[in-house]
Amino acid sequence: METYSPYCGTPPLPADLWGRWTFEPGLMIGLVTALAAGLWLVAPAQRARFVIGWALVALLFTSQLCALSMALFSARVAQHVLLTLVAAPLLAAALPRMVLPPAWAALGFAFLFWVWHAPGPYAATLTADGTYWAMHLSLLAAAIVFWASLRAHVATNPFACALAALFTGAQMSILSALLLFSANAWHPFHDLTAAPWGLTALADQQLAGAVMWVAGGLVFLAAIAGLVARFLRENTRSA
C-alpha cells in the first residue's frame, strides 16, 4: 500500500483538503460521454432531472469528498448515500423504465450494498482503481435499477413496491446498527488516516453508521409513506 496512489489520491490532511479536486482525464471523458449519451437517450421532458443527477454524480467524484473518502469510512458512506439515494432516483426518473420486479431489484441492491461495505471488499477498493470503480459503478447501477423498478411498478403493484422499499430501508438500518454499535472497527487501518481528523477507526465507523441510518431512514420513510398512501388510494377506488 505504500507505493500505491489510490484513484482519489492519498488520504488528505485537514489543512490540504480544500485543494483536493479530482479532474483525472479518464474520469472527465467518462462523465462527458455519459452526459452526451444520457441527453440523447432520455426524453426532452426528463433531461433536467438527468442533468441534475449527472451533476451530483460528477460532484461526488471530482470534489473534496472523493479525497476525504480515502481518509474516512464515514465520508465514503456519505458518498454512497448521496450516490444511491439521491443521484440514482433522479437518474432513474429520467432513464427508460426497468421491468425487473421490485423484489429482485431490492435484493440485488442489498447484496451489493452489504458486500462493498464488508472489510475485505472495502479494503480492496483502496488498493486498486479497478476495484474502486467496480464498487461505485455497481452500486450506482443497482440503485438506478431499484428506483426505476419502483417507478415502473408503482401504478400496477404499489404494495410490492412498498414491501421492496421497506426491505431496503430495513437492511440499510441493520447494517447501520452493526456499524454504530459494533465494539470493534471493521476497517482498523483507518486509525492512521482518521487520526488527523480527531477520530479513531471505531469512532469513524460509528459516524458512518449514524449517517447511513439517519439519511437512509428519512429517504425510505418518505418513500414507504408515499407508496402506502398510493396503495390505500388504489384500494379505496376499487372498493
pLDDT in tens, 160-184: 988 998 899 999 999 999 999 999 9
pLDDT band at 75 (very low <50, low <70, confident <90, very high): very high
Cα distances from 17 to residues 11, 109, 129, in angstroms, run: 9, 31, 21
Give yes or no for a contact between 125 and 131, defined as CB atoms under 8 angstroms apart.
yes
pLDDT in tens, 138-157: 999 999 999 999 989 888 88
Residue 33 predicted with pLDDT over 90? yes
pLDDT of residue 154: 85
Q: Is the pTM of this model over 0.95?
A: no
pLDDT in tens, 204-224: 999 999 999 988 878 877 777
Residue 159, number of CB atoms within 10 A of its CB = 15
